[in-house]
Structure 1
Amino acid sequence: MYLYENQNLNMMKTNTFKLLLLSLMICSGLYAQSTSATLIKKVEGFSHPESVVFNQDKNEYYISNMADREEGDGFISRVSAEGEIIELKWIDGLKDPKGLLIKDDKVYVTNNTELIEISIADSKILRRIQVEGSKSLNDITVDAVGNIFISDSGKSAIYLMPGDSANMMVPEDKKGEIIEYLDSTRLEYVNGLFAQKDHLYAAAWGENNDGNFLKIDMDTREIEKISKEGIGNLDGVQPVGEDAFYISDWATGKIHLIKKDGEITEVLTSEKSAGDIFFDVEKDQLVLPMNHQNAVWWYQLQ
Protein backbone atom coordinates (compact mmCIF):
# COMPACT_ATOMS: atom_id res chain seq x y z
CA MET A 1 0.00 0.00 0.00
CA TYR A 2 2.84 2.39 0.87
CA LEU A 3 4.54 1.71 -2.48
CA TYR A 4 1.27 2.32 -4.35
CA GLU A 5 0.69 5.62 -2.54
CA ASN A 6 4.30 6.63 -3.21
CA GLN A 7 3.88 5.92 -6.92
CA ASN A 8 0.69 7.99 -7.00
CA LEU A 9 2.44 10.86 -5.22
CA ASN A 10 5.36 10.73 -7.66
CA MET A 11 2.94 10.68 -10.60
CA MET A 12 1.10 13.72 -9.22
CA LYS A 13 4.39 15.57 -8.79
CA THR A 14 5.42 14.68 -12.35
CA ASN A 15 2.12 15.84 -13.83
CA THR A 16 2.26 19.07 -11.79
CA PHE A 17 5.79 19.71 -13.03
CA LYS A 18 4.74 19.09 -16.64
CA LEU A 19 1.84 21.53 -16.32
CA LEU A 20 4.11 24.13 -14.73
CA LEU A 21 6.71 23.66 -17.46
CA LEU A 22 4.05 23.92 -20.18
CA SER A 23 2.69 27.10 -18.59
CA LEU A 24 6.16 28.62 -18.43
CA MET A 25 6.84 27.72 -22.07
CA ILE A 26 3.58 29.31 -23.20
CA CYS A 27 4.14 32.49 -21.22
CA SER A 28 7.77 32.84 -22.27
CA GLY A 29 6.94 32.34 -25.94
CA LEU A 30 9.29 29.39 -26.48
CA TYR A 31 6.86 27.93 -29.00
CA ALA A 32 7.28 31.04 -31.15
CA GLN A 33 10.43 29.71 -32.76
CA SER A 34 8.86 26.89 -34.84
CA THR A 35 9.32 27.96 -38.47
CA SER A 36 8.92 24.67 -40.35
CA ALA A 37 6.37 21.86 -40.33
CA THR A 38 5.61 18.43 -41.78
CA LEU A 39 2.19 17.21 -42.94
CA ILE A 40 1.32 14.18 -40.79
CA LYS A 41 -2.41 13.57 -41.32
CA LYS A 42 -5.33 14.31 -43.64
CA VAL A 43 -8.90 13.60 -42.53
CA GLU A 44 -11.57 13.80 -45.24
CA GLY A 45 -15.36 13.67 -45.22
CA PHE A 46 -16.20 17.24 -44.19
CA SER A 47 -18.20 19.80 -46.15
CA HIS A 48 -16.23 23.02 -46.65
CA PRO A 49 -14.76 23.16 -43.12
CA GLU A 50 -13.89 26.64 -41.90
CA SER A 51 -12.87 26.72 -38.23
CA VAL A 52 -11.34 24.37 -35.62
CA VAL A 53 -11.32 24.57 -31.81
CA PHE A 54 -10.28 22.02 -29.19
CA ASN A 55 -12.20 21.15 -26.01
CA GLN A 56 -9.62 20.22 -23.37
CA ASP A 57 -12.22 18.82 -20.97
CA LYS A 58 -13.74 16.49 -23.57
CA ASN A 59 -10.45 15.87 -25.42
CA GLU A 60 -12.10 16.52 -28.79
CA TYR A 61 -12.24 19.02 -31.63
CA TYR A 62 -15.23 20.94 -32.94
CA ILE A 63 -15.16 21.85 -36.63
CA SER A 64 -17.58 24.18 -38.40
CA ASN A 65 -18.75 23.13 -41.87
CA MET A 66 -20.09 25.82 -44.20
CA ALA A 67 -21.46 23.16 -46.60
CA ASP A 68 -23.10 24.80 -49.65
CA ARG A 69 -24.15 27.94 -47.75
CA GLU A 70 -27.83 27.15 -48.12
CA GLU A 71 -30.34 27.51 -45.33
CA GLY A 72 -29.99 24.63 -42.88
CA ASP A 73 -27.18 22.67 -44.57
CA GLY A 74 -24.33 23.91 -42.34
CA PHE A 75 -23.19 21.90 -39.33
CA ILE A 76 -20.55 21.33 -36.64
CA SER A 77 -18.55 18.11 -36.37
CA ARG A 78 -17.07 16.37 -33.32
CA VAL A 79 -13.63 14.89 -33.95
CA SER A 80 -11.41 12.94 -31.56
CA ALA A 81 -7.99 14.15 -30.44
CA GLU A 82 -6.53 11.53 -32.80
CA GLY A 83 -8.44 12.98 -35.75
CA GLU A 84 -11.27 10.44 -36.07
CA ILE A 85 -14.73 11.78 -36.85
CA ILE A 86 -16.94 10.96 -33.85
CA GLU A 87 -20.09 12.66 -35.08
CA LEU A 88 -20.07 14.38 -38.47
CA LYS A 89 -23.26 16.38 -37.82
CA TRP A 90 -23.12 16.94 -34.07
CA ILE A 91 -25.06 20.21 -34.45
CA ASP A 92 -26.86 20.80 -37.75
CA GLY A 93 -29.49 23.07 -39.25
CA LEU A 94 -27.04 25.98 -39.61
CA LYS A 95 -26.34 28.39 -42.45
CA ASP A 96 -22.72 29.24 -43.28
CA PRO A 97 -21.21 28.63 -39.79
CA LYS A 98 -17.66 29.95 -39.38
CA GLY A 99 -15.88 31.05 -36.19
CA LEU A 100 -15.96 28.89 -33.07
CA LEU A 101 -15.37 29.70 -29.42
CA ILE A 102 -15.54 27.56 -26.29
CA LYS A 103 -16.55 29.55 -23.19
CA ASP A 104 -17.48 27.86 -19.94
CA ASP A 105 -19.63 24.85 -20.91
CA LYS A 106 -20.83 26.29 -24.22
CA VAL A 107 -19.75 26.55 -27.83
CA TYR A 108 -20.43 29.78 -29.68
CA VAL A 109 -20.50 29.83 -33.47
CA THR A 110 -21.00 32.68 -35.91
CA ASN A 111 -23.77 31.77 -38.33
CA ASN A 112 -24.04 34.31 -41.16
CA THR A 113 -25.74 37.21 -39.32
CA GLU A 114 -26.39 35.58 -35.95
CA LEU A 115 -24.47 34.17 -33.01
CA ILE A 116 -25.49 30.70 -31.89
CA GLU A 117 -24.98 29.43 -28.34
CA ILE A 118 -24.71 25.65 -27.92
CA SER A 119 -24.80 23.51 -24.77
CA ILE A 120 -21.92 21.03 -24.90
CA ALA A 121 -23.48 18.74 -22.28
CA ASP A 122 -26.88 18.58 -23.98
CA SER A 123 -25.65 18.82 -27.59
CA LYS A 124 -28.33 21.34 -28.48
CA ILE A 125 -28.76 24.97 -29.48
CA LEU A 126 -29.68 27.18 -26.54
CA ARG A 127 -29.96 30.58 -28.23
CA ARG A 128 -29.83 32.25 -31.63
CA ILE A 129 -28.88 35.91 -31.26
CA GLN A 130 -29.46 38.06 -34.31
CA VAL A 131 -26.71 40.66 -34.84
CA GLU A 132 -28.46 43.76 -36.10
CA GLY A 133 -26.74 45.44 -39.05
CA SER A 134 -24.24 42.64 -39.69
CA LYS A 135 -23.45 41.29 -43.16
CA SER A 136 -21.14 38.28 -42.83
CA LEU A 137 -19.98 37.37 -39.32
CA ASN A 138 -16.72 35.46 -39.20
CA ASP A 139 -14.30 34.86 -36.33
CA ILE A 140 -14.98 35.10 -32.59
CA THR A 141 -12.79 35.60 -29.52
CA VAL A 142 -13.15 36.36 -25.80
CA ASP A 143 -11.05 38.58 -23.54
CA ALA A 144 -9.97 38.01 -19.94
CA VAL A 145 -13.16 39.48 -18.43
CA GLY A 146 -15.63 37.66 -20.68
CA ASN A 147 -16.28 40.19 -23.44
CA ILE A 148 -16.93 38.39 -26.73
CA PHE A 149 -15.75 40.06 -29.94
CA ILE A 150 -16.98 39.06 -33.40
CA SER A 151 -15.54 40.05 -36.76
CA ASP A 152 -17.79 40.98 -39.68
CA SER A 153 -15.80 40.44 -42.87
CA GLY A 154 -18.62 41.65 -45.09
CA LYS A 155 -18.89 44.98 -43.31
CA SER A 156 -15.27 45.54 -42.18
CA ALA A 157 -16.50 45.78 -38.60
CA ILE A 158 -16.25 44.21 -35.15
CA TYR A 159 -19.19 43.52 -32.82
CA LEU A 160 -19.18 43.14 -29.04
CA MET A 161 -21.23 41.03 -26.63
CA PRO A 162 -20.27 42.47 -23.21
CA GLY A 163 -19.40 40.03 -20.46
CA ASP A 164 -20.92 40.13 -16.99
CA SER A 165 -17.91 42.08 -15.69
CA ALA A 166 -17.36 44.23 -18.79
CA ASN A 167 -14.51 46.70 -18.40
CA MET A 168 -16.00 49.20 -20.85
CA MET A 169 -18.99 51.47 -20.70
CA VAL A 170 -22.10 49.82 -22.11
CA PRO A 171 -25.50 51.54 -22.14
CA GLU A 172 -27.87 49.99 -19.60
CA ASP A 173 -30.45 49.20 -22.29
CA LYS A 174 -27.82 47.37 -24.36
CA LYS A 175 -26.47 44.99 -21.70
CA GLY A 176 -26.79 41.37 -22.78
CA GLU A 177 -27.08 42.39 -26.42
CA ILE A 178 -24.56 42.36 -29.24
CA ILE A 179 -23.58 45.88 -30.23
CA GLU A 180 -21.35 47.41 -32.88
CA TYR A 181 -17.89 47.97 -31.41
CA LEU A 182 -15.90 49.26 -34.39
CA ASP A 183 -16.73 49.95 -38.04
CA SER A 184 -13.85 51.12 -40.21
CA THR A 185 -12.32 50.54 -43.64
CA ARG A 186 -9.00 50.49 -41.78
CA LEU A 187 -10.01 47.03 -40.50
CA GLU A 188 -9.55 45.87 -44.11
CA TYR A 189 -12.49 43.44 -44.04
CA VAL A 190 -11.31 41.89 -40.81
CA ASN A 191 -11.37 38.09 -40.62
CA GLY A 192 -9.44 36.32 -37.83
CA LEU A 193 -9.56 37.73 -34.28
CA PHE A 194 -7.71 37.03 -31.04
CA ALA A 195 -7.99 38.94 -27.75
CA GLN A 196 -4.79 39.18 -25.72
CA LYS A 197 -4.49 41.44 -22.68
CA ASP A 198 -5.60 44.95 -23.72
CA HIS A 199 -5.58 44.40 -27.47
CA LEU A 200 -7.38 42.62 -30.26
CA TYR A 201 -5.15 41.10 -32.93
CA ALA A 202 -6.76 40.82 -36.33
CA ALA A 203 -5.97 39.00 -39.57
CA ALA A 204 -7.44 41.09 -42.38
CA TRP A 205 -8.78 39.72 -45.66
CA GLY A 206 -7.97 42.89 -47.58
CA GLU A 207 -9.26 43.71 -51.06
CA ASN A 208 -6.55 42.50 -53.46
CA ASN A 209 -4.56 39.86 -51.56
CA ASP A 210 -3.20 42.71 -49.46
CA GLY A 211 -4.66 42.08 -46.00
CA ASN A 212 -2.48 43.14 -43.06
CA PHE A 213 -2.03 41.87 -39.53
CA LEU A 214 -3.55 44.49 -37.23
CA LYS A 215 -3.58 45.47 -33.55
CA ILE A 216 -6.58 47.22 -31.98
CA ASP A 217 -6.46 48.93 -28.58
CA MET A 218 -9.56 47.72 -26.74
CA ASP A 219 -10.11 50.99 -24.88
CA THR A 220 -9.25 53.64 -27.47
CA ARG A 221 -10.18 51.43 -30.46
CA GLU A 222 -7.12 52.73 -32.31
CA ILE A 223 -6.07 50.49 -35.21
CA GLU A 224 -2.38 49.85 -35.91
CA LYS A 225 -0.71 47.81 -38.67
CA ILE A 226 1.78 45.27 -37.35
CA SER A 227 2.78 43.91 -40.78
CA LYS A 228 4.99 46.23 -42.82
CA GLU A 229 3.07 45.49 -46.03
CA GLY A 230 0.02 43.52 -47.18
CA ILE A 231 0.43 39.75 -46.77
CA GLY A 232 -2.59 38.13 -48.45
CA ASN A 233 -6.20 37.11 -47.80
CA LEU A 234 -5.59 36.48 -44.11
CA ASP A 235 -7.97 34.16 -42.28
CA GLY A 236 -6.99 32.46 -39.01
CA VAL A 237 -4.86 33.76 -36.13
CA GLN A 238 -3.45 31.79 -33.20
CA PRO A 239 -1.15 33.07 -30.43
CA VAL A 240 2.31 31.58 -29.92
CA GLY A 241 3.35 32.67 -26.45
CA GLU A 242 3.01 36.39 -25.87
CA ASP A 243 5.12 37.84 -28.67
CA ALA A 244 4.03 36.09 -31.87
CA PHE A 245 1.14 34.54 -33.81
CA TYR A 246 0.52 31.96 -36.51
CA ILE A 247 -1.65 33.39 -39.29
CA SER A 248 -3.11 31.70 -42.38
CA ASP A 249 -3.34 33.09 -45.90
CA TRP A 250 -6.47 31.60 -47.45
CA ALA A 251 -5.49 32.47 -51.04
CA THR A 252 -2.11 30.71 -51.04
CA GLY A 253 -2.39 28.17 -48.21
CA LYS A 254 0.69 29.67 -46.55
CA ILE A 255 1.00 29.75 -42.77
CA HIS A 256 3.21 32.52 -41.40
CA LEU A 257 4.77 33.20 -38.02
CA ILE A 258 4.50 36.93 -37.34
CA LYS A 259 5.97 38.68 -34.33
CA LYS A 260 4.58 41.80 -32.71
CA ASP A 261 7.41 43.85 -34.18
CA GLY A 262 6.27 42.89 -37.69
CA GLU A 263 8.96 40.28 -38.44
CA ILE A 264 7.34 37.54 -40.53
CA THR A 265 8.52 34.05 -41.48
CA GLU A 266 6.80 31.49 -43.70
CA VAL A 267 6.25 28.25 -41.77
CA LEU A 268 4.55 26.04 -44.38
CA THR A 269 2.57 26.03 -47.61
CA SER A 270 -0.54 23.85 -47.78
CA GLU A 271 -3.04 24.61 -50.56
CA LYS A 272 -5.49 27.36 -51.33
CA SER A 273 -8.40 27.69 -48.83
CA ALA A 274 -6.63 27.10 -45.50
CA GLY A 275 -9.13 28.66 -43.09
CA ASP A 276 -9.36 29.43 -39.37
CA ILE A 277 -6.43 27.39 -38.04
CA PHE A 278 -5.84 25.91 -34.58
CA PHE A 279 -2.48 25.72 -32.77
CA ASP A 280 -2.17 22.73 -30.42
CA VAL A 281 0.36 23.96 -27.85
CA GLU A 282 0.85 20.62 -26.08
CA LYS A 283 1.54 18.63 -29.26
CA ASP A 284 3.19 21.53 -31.11
CA GLN A 285 0.89 20.97 -34.08
CA LEU A 286 -1.11 23.14 -36.46
CA VAL A 287 -4.57 21.98 -37.52
CA LEU A 288 -5.82 23.40 -40.82
CA PRO A 289 -9.43 23.28 -42.02
CA MET A 290 -9.12 23.01 -45.81
CA ASN A 291 -12.30 24.47 -47.25
CA HIS A 292 -12.06 23.46 -50.91
CA GLN A 293 -10.54 20.06 -50.09
CA ASN A 294 -13.36 19.11 -47.67
CA ALA A 295 -10.67 17.94 -45.26
CA VAL A 296 -8.70 18.85 -42.16
CA TRP A 297 -4.90 18.63 -42.27
CA TRP A 298 -2.53 18.20 -39.30
CA TYR A 299 1.04 19.53 -39.40
CA GLN A 300 3.80 18.74 -36.91
CA LEU A 301 5.90 21.81 -36.15
CA GLN A 302 9.67 21.41 -36.01
Structure 2
Amino acid sequence: MKYFVISLLLGLFIQANAQKTKKPYKQLQGFHHPESVVFDEQQKVYYVSNMAGKEEQDGFISKVSENGEILDTIWAKGLQDPKGLLLHGDKLFVTDISFLVEIDPASGDIISKTEVENAKSLNDIAADQEGNIYISDLVGNIIYKRDVSGNISEWLNTQELERPNGLLVSEDKIFVASWGKDEPGHLLQVDRKSKEIKKISPKGIGNLDGIQKIAPDSFYVSDWATGDIYRINTNGRMEKVLRSEKSSGDILFLKGTEELVLPMNHQNAIWWYRLN
Protein backbone atom coordinates (compact mmCIF):
# COMPACT_ATOMS: atom_id res chain seq x y z
CA MET A 1 0.00 0.00 0.00
CA LYS A 2 2.84 2.34 0.90
CA TYR A 3 4.53 1.86 -2.45
CA PHE A 4 1.20 2.30 -4.27
CA VAL A 5 0.69 5.69 -2.58
CA ILE A 6 4.26 6.77 -3.40
CA SER A 7 3.79 5.74 -7.05
CA LEU A 8 0.49 7.57 -7.22
CA LEU A 9 1.99 10.78 -5.79
CA LEU A 10 4.95 10.50 -8.15
CA GLY A 11 2.59 10.12 -11.09
CA LEU A 12 0.62 13.19 -10.07
CA PHE A 13 3.85 15.16 -9.67
CA ILE A 14 5.05 14.18 -13.14
CA GLN A 15 1.67 15.02 -14.63
CA ALA A 16 1.58 18.46 -12.97
CA ASN A 17 5.07 19.30 -14.18
CA ALA A 18 4.26 18.05 -17.67
CA GLN A 19 1.48 20.63 -17.78
CA LYS A 20 3.87 23.34 -16.67
CA THR A 21 6.44 22.47 -19.32
CA LYS A 22 4.11 21.80 -22.26
CA LYS A 23 5.69 22.98 -25.49
CA PRO A 24 3.91 24.66 -28.40
CA TYR A 25 3.66 22.52 -31.52
CA LYS A 26 4.31 25.59 -33.67
CA GLN A 27 6.20 28.85 -33.13
CA LEU A 28 6.16 31.69 -35.63
CA GLN A 29 8.75 34.47 -35.31
CA GLY A 30 8.87 37.82 -37.10
CA PHE A 31 6.66 40.10 -34.98
CA HIS A 32 7.39 43.19 -32.88
CA HIS A 33 5.84 42.89 -29.43
CA PRO A 34 2.60 41.18 -30.49
CA GLU A 35 -0.33 41.69 -28.12
CA SER A 36 -3.52 40.24 -29.63
CA VAL A 37 -4.52 37.72 -32.30
CA VAL A 38 -7.89 37.03 -33.97
CA PHE A 39 -8.93 34.68 -36.76
CA ASP A 40 -10.96 35.89 -39.75
CA GLU A 41 -13.28 33.04 -40.77
CA GLN A 42 -14.12 34.67 -44.12
CA GLN A 43 -10.58 35.51 -45.20
CA LYS A 44 -9.12 32.41 -43.44
CA VAL A 45 -6.28 34.47 -41.96
CA TYR A 46 -5.07 35.63 -38.56
CA TYR A 47 -4.58 39.29 -37.68
CA VAL A 48 -1.92 40.13 -35.09
CA SER A 49 -1.51 43.50 -33.37
CA ASN A 50 2.11 44.61 -32.90
CA MET A 51 2.85 47.26 -30.29
CA ALA A 52 6.31 47.70 -31.84
CA GLY A 53 8.85 50.12 -30.31
CA LYS A 54 8.80 53.70 -29.08
CA GLU A 55 8.90 55.47 -32.42
CA GLU A 56 5.93 57.61 -33.42
CA GLN A 57 3.26 55.64 -35.32
CA ASP A 58 5.40 52.49 -35.61
CA GLY A 59 2.64 50.11 -34.47
CA PHE A 60 1.10 47.79 -37.06
CA ILE A 61 -1.10 44.78 -37.78
CA SER A 62 0.28 41.60 -39.36
CA LYS A 63 -1.59 39.10 -41.53
CA VAL A 64 -0.86 35.38 -41.07
CA SER A 65 -2.16 32.44 -43.10
CA GLU A 66 -4.41 29.72 -41.68
CA ASN A 67 -1.40 27.39 -41.79
CA GLY A 68 0.69 29.76 -39.70
CA GLU A 69 2.84 31.57 -42.27
CA ILE A 70 3.32 35.33 -42.39
CA LEU A 71 1.56 36.74 -45.44
CA ASP A 72 2.23 40.41 -44.71
CA THR A 73 4.23 41.55 -41.70
CA ILE A 74 3.08 45.17 -41.91
CA TRP A 75 -0.38 44.71 -43.40
CA ALA A 76 -1.94 47.75 -41.69
CA LYS A 77 0.28 50.58 -40.40
CA GLY A 78 0.15 54.08 -38.98
CA LEU A 79 -0.76 52.98 -35.44
CA GLN A 80 0.91 53.95 -32.20
CA ASP A 81 0.48 51.09 -29.73
CA PRO A 82 -2.25 48.73 -31.00
CA LYS A 83 -3.55 46.12 -28.59
CA GLY A 84 -7.09 44.69 -28.71
CA LEU A 85 -8.59 43.34 -31.95
CA LEU A 86 -12.22 42.67 -32.84
CA LEU A 87 -13.78 41.49 -36.10
CA HIS A 88 -17.25 42.99 -36.07
CA GLY A 89 -19.54 43.35 -39.07
CA ASP A 90 -17.35 44.12 -42.05
CA LYS A 91 -14.58 45.87 -40.08
CA LEU A 92 -11.57 45.10 -37.95
CA PHE A 93 -11.60 47.25 -34.81
CA VAL A 94 -8.34 48.03 -33.01
CA THR A 95 -7.67 49.80 -29.71
CA ASP A 96 -4.75 52.22 -29.93
CA ILE A 97 -4.03 53.96 -26.58
CA SER A 98 -6.86 56.53 -26.67
CA PHE A 99 -8.27 55.80 -30.12
CA LEU A 100 -10.66 53.25 -31.55
CA VAL A 101 -9.48 52.45 -35.06
CA GLU A 102 -11.55 50.87 -37.85
CA ILE A 103 -9.73 48.94 -40.58
CA ASP A 104 -10.99 47.46 -43.84
CA PRO A 105 -10.16 43.70 -43.70
CA ALA A 106 -10.15 43.50 -47.48
CA SER A 107 -7.36 46.05 -47.93
CA GLY A 108 -5.77 46.83 -44.56
CA ASP A 109 -6.62 50.51 -45.03
CA ILE A 110 -7.58 52.58 -42.00
CA ILE A 111 -11.18 53.76 -42.37
CA SER A 112 -11.37 55.93 -39.27
CA LYS A 113 -9.77 56.82 -35.95
CA THR A 114 -12.09 57.91 -33.15
CA GLU A 115 -10.60 59.45 -30.01
CA VAL A 116 -12.11 58.18 -26.77
CA GLU A 117 -12.43 61.09 -24.38
CA ASN A 118 -10.34 60.76 -21.18
CA ALA A 119 -9.04 57.31 -22.18
CA LYS A 120 -5.58 56.49 -20.82
CA SER A 121 -4.71 52.99 -22.05
CA LEU A 122 -7.38 51.21 -24.10
CA ASN A 123 -6.84 47.49 -24.16
CA ASP A 124 -9.30 44.72 -25.04
CA ILE A 125 -12.49 45.03 -27.06
CA ALA A 126 -15.63 42.86 -27.35
CA ALA A 127 -19.12 43.12 -28.84
CA ASP A 128 -22.58 42.06 -27.70
CA GLN A 129 -25.40 40.54 -29.76
CA GLU A 130 -26.99 43.94 -30.33
CA GLY A 131 -23.85 45.36 -31.93
CA ASN A 132 -22.60 47.45 -29.02
CA ILE A 133 -18.85 47.38 -28.46
CA TYR A 134 -17.17 47.40 -25.04
CA ILE A 135 -13.59 48.59 -24.50
CA SER A 136 -11.41 48.20 -21.42
CA ASP A 137 -9.14 50.98 -20.16
CA LEU A 138 -6.59 49.29 -17.93
CA VAL A 139 -5.04 52.44 -16.47
CA GLY A 140 -8.30 54.36 -16.17
CA ASN A 141 -10.26 51.50 -14.50
CA ILE A 142 -13.03 52.10 -17.02
CA ILE A 143 -15.11 50.09 -19.45
CA TYR A 144 -16.33 52.20 -22.37
CA LYS A 145 -19.31 51.42 -24.57
CA ARG A 146 -19.68 52.24 -28.26
CA ASP A 147 -23.35 52.03 -29.18
CA VAL A 148 -24.72 50.97 -32.56
CA SER A 149 -24.81 54.64 -33.65
CA GLY A 150 -21.07 54.96 -33.05
CA ASN A 151 -21.26 57.05 -29.88
CA ILE A 152 -18.67 56.20 -27.22
CA SER A 153 -19.21 56.85 -23.52
CA GLU A 154 -18.19 55.54 -20.11
CA TRP A 155 -20.18 52.43 -19.24
CA LEU A 156 -18.54 51.64 -15.89
CA ASN A 157 -15.88 53.55 -13.96
CA THR A 158 -14.74 52.01 -10.68
CA GLN A 159 -11.62 50.80 -8.86
CA GLU A 160 -13.47 47.50 -8.34
CA LEU A 161 -12.57 46.61 -11.93
CA GLU A 162 -8.99 46.06 -10.69
CA ARG A 163 -7.47 47.52 -13.86
CA PRO A 164 -9.57 45.70 -16.48
CA ASN A 165 -7.74 43.97 -19.30
CA GLY A 166 -9.46 41.13 -21.18
CA LEU A 167 -13.19 41.34 -21.92
CA LEU A 168 -15.78 38.75 -22.91
CA VAL A 169 -19.45 39.70 -23.36
CA SER A 170 -22.37 37.30 -22.87
CA GLU A 171 -26.11 37.91 -23.03
CA ASP A 172 -26.34 39.27 -19.48
CA LYS A 173 -22.75 39.54 -18.21
CA ILE A 174 -19.38 41.03 -19.05
CA PHE A 175 -16.47 38.88 -17.90
CA VAL A 176 -13.31 40.78 -17.07
CA ALA A 177 -9.76 39.46 -16.80
CA SER A 178 -8.24 42.03 -14.47
CA TRP A 179 -4.58 43.00 -14.31
CA GLY A 180 -4.66 43.84 -10.61
CA LYS A 181 -2.95 46.64 -8.76
CA ASP A 182 -2.26 46.20 -5.05
CA GLU A 183 -2.85 42.46 -5.35
CA PRO A 184 -3.06 39.93 -8.22
CA GLY A 185 -6.04 40.40 -10.53
CA HIS A 186 -9.21 38.31 -10.37
CA LEU A 187 -11.54 37.01 -13.03
CA LEU A 188 -14.62 39.20 -12.57
CA GLN A 189 -18.16 39.20 -13.84
CA VAL A 190 -20.24 42.35 -14.26
CA ASP A 191 -24.02 42.20 -14.52
CA ARG A 192 -24.97 44.17 -17.63
CA LYS A 193 -28.17 45.53 -16.07
CA SER A 194 -27.22 46.30 -12.48
CA LYS A 195 -23.46 46.65 -13.16
CA GLU A 196 -22.83 44.70 -9.97
CA ILE A 197 -19.31 43.24 -9.88
CA LYS A 198 -18.58 39.75 -8.57
CA LYS A 199 -15.22 37.99 -8.18
CA ILE A 200 -15.34 34.59 -9.87
CA SER A 201 -11.85 33.39 -8.97
CA PRO A 202 -11.60 32.61 -5.24
CA LYS A 203 -8.27 34.44 -5.03
CA GLY A 204 -6.16 36.84 -7.04
CA ILE A 205 -4.37 35.02 -9.85
CA GLY A 206 -1.92 37.41 -11.50
CA ASN A 207 -1.74 39.93 -14.33
CA LEU A 208 -4.68 38.51 -16.26
CA ASP A 209 -4.73 39.37 -19.95
CA GLY A 210 -6.72 37.25 -22.42
CA ILE A 211 -10.06 35.54 -21.88
CA GLN A 212 -11.72 33.09 -24.26
CA LYS A 213 -15.03 31.24 -24.00
CA ILE A 214 -15.04 27.44 -23.84
CA ALA A 215 -18.69 27.03 -22.80
CA PRO A 216 -21.28 29.43 -21.32
CA ASP A 217 -19.86 28.84 -17.84
CA SER A 218 -16.20 28.12 -18.63
CA PHE A 219 -13.26 30.16 -19.92
CA TYR A 220 -9.57 30.04 -20.75
CA VAL A 221 -7.69 32.90 -19.09
CA SER A 222 -4.03 33.87 -19.49
CA ASP A 223 -1.70 35.26 -16.84
CA TRP A 224 0.76 37.58 -18.58
CA ALA A 225 3.20 37.54 -15.65
CA THR A 226 3.77 33.76 -15.54
CA GLY A 227 2.56 32.45 -18.90
CA ASP A 228 0.08 30.19 -17.10
CA ILE A 229 -3.18 29.42 -18.89
CA TYR A 230 -6.15 28.55 -16.67
CA ARG A 231 -9.54 27.02 -17.21
CA ILE A 232 -11.97 28.79 -14.86
CA ASN A 233 -15.66 28.07 -14.32
CA THR A 234 -18.23 30.58 -13.13
CA ASN A 235 -18.50 28.61 -9.88
CA GLY A 236 -14.89 29.53 -9.11
CA ARG A 237 -13.27 26.21 -9.95
CA MET A 238 -9.84 26.83 -11.44
CA GLU A 239 -7.46 24.46 -13.23
CA LYS A 240 -4.08 25.22 -14.77
CA VAL A 241 -4.07 23.97 -18.35
CA LEU A 242 -0.51 24.75 -19.35
CA ARG A 243 2.41 27.06 -18.76
CA SER A 244 3.96 28.94 -21.65
CA GLU A 245 6.32 31.79 -20.73
CA LYS A 246 6.02 35.28 -19.33
CA SER A 247 4.22 37.79 -21.60
CA SER A 248 1.47 35.60 -23.08
CA GLY A 249 -1.07 38.23 -24.13
CA ASP A 250 -4.61 38.30 -25.51
CA ILE A 251 -5.03 34.60 -26.33
CA LEU A 252 -7.24 33.00 -28.99
CA PHE A 253 -9.11 29.70 -28.58
CA LEU A 254 -10.06 27.80 -31.73
CA LYS A 255 -12.88 25.55 -30.60
CA GLY A 256 -13.08 23.49 -33.80
CA THR A 257 -9.49 22.28 -33.53
CA GLU A 258 -9.07 22.59 -29.75
CA GLU A 259 -6.09 24.92 -30.12
CA LEU A 260 -4.83 27.89 -28.15
CA VAL A 261 -2.98 30.60 -30.05
CA LEU A 262 -0.76 32.79 -27.88
CA PRO A 263 0.79 36.14 -28.85
CA MET A 264 4.10 36.18 -26.98
CA ASN A 265 5.01 39.81 -26.44
CA HIS A 266 8.61 39.51 -25.25
CA GLN A 267 9.42 36.59 -27.56
CA ASN A 268 8.16 38.45 -30.67
CA ALA A 269 6.32 35.30 -31.70
CA ILE A 270 2.99 33.50 -31.97
CA TRP A 271 2.75 30.08 -30.33
CA TRP A 272 0.20 27.36 -31.08
CA TYR A 273 -0.81 24.71 -28.53
CA ARG A 274 -2.98 21.62 -29.04
CA LEU A 275 -5.22 20.86 -26.09
CA ASN A 276 -6.59 17.43 -27.09
Give the TM-score, by structure 2 length: 0.91
1:82 aligned partner: 67
| Residue 154 of structure 1: how far off its partner (Å) | 0.8
Q: Structure 2 CA distance, aligned partners of 1:112 and 1:70?
A: 14
Q: Is the contact between residue 203 and residue 247 of structure 1 (CA under 8 Å) also seen in structure 2?
A: yes
- Asked if 1:133 corresponds to 2:118, the answer is yes
| Corresponding residue number in structure 2 for 1:217 | 191
Q: Does the 8 A contact of 2:21 with 2:244 survive in 1?
A: no
Matches within 5 A, 1:1-302: 38-163=23-148, 175-208=149-182, 210-302=184-276
Shift of 1:208: 4.6
Cα deviation for residue 207 of structure 1 reads 1.3
What amino acid is aligned across from residue 52 of structure 2 in structure 1? A
Distance 2:117 2:74 in 1: 28
Superposition deviation, residue 35 in structure 1: 11
In the alignment of these two chains, the number of paired residues is: 258
SS at match of 1:39: coil
Distance in 2 between the 1:47 and 1:240 partners? Answer: 29
2:163 aligned partner, one-letter code: Y
What is the deviation of 1:39?
A: 1.6
Higher-helix-fraction structure: 1
Change in Cα spacing, 1:35 to 1:141, as seen in structure 2 (3 Å) is farther
Give the partner amino acid of 1:147. N
1:122 offset after TM fit, Å?
Answer: 3.0
Instruction: Work out which structure has the larger RCO, using CA pairs closer than 8 Å and 6 or more positions apart in sequence.
Output: 1
Larger mean Cα displacement after TM superposition, 228-237 or 37-46: 37-46
When the two chains are superposed, the root-mean-square deviation of aligned CA atoms in Å is: 1.5
SS at match of 2:25: strand
Deviation of 1:221 (Å): 1.0
* More deviation, 203-212/272-281: 203-212
- The 1:57/1:36 distance shift into structure 2, 3 A limit, reads farther
Alignment-mate amino acid for residue 279 of structure 1: F
Sequence identity, in percent? 50
1:62–1:243 Cα change, 3 Å? same
TM-aligned CA distance change 1:196 to 1:36, over 3 Å: farther
Deviations 1:159-206 (A, max 9, x none): 00012xxxxxxxxxxx53210111100000000001011110000000
Q: Which residue of 2 aligns with 1:167?
A: none
Q: For 1:203-236, what per-residue CA distance to the aligned partner results, in whole angstroms no more than 9, with x for missing partners?
A: 0000155100000111111111101110000000
Structure 2 unaligned spans of 5+:
1-18
Cα offset, 1:119, TM superposition: 1.0
SS state at 1:186 partner: helix
Which 4+ residue blocks in structure 1 deviate beyond 3 angstroms? 34-38
Give the partner amino acid of 1:248. Answer: S
Distance 2:226 2:100 in 1: 29
Structure 1: any 5+ residue segments left out of the alignment? Answer: 1-33, 164-174
* Shift of residue 58, structure 1, vs aligned partner: 0.7
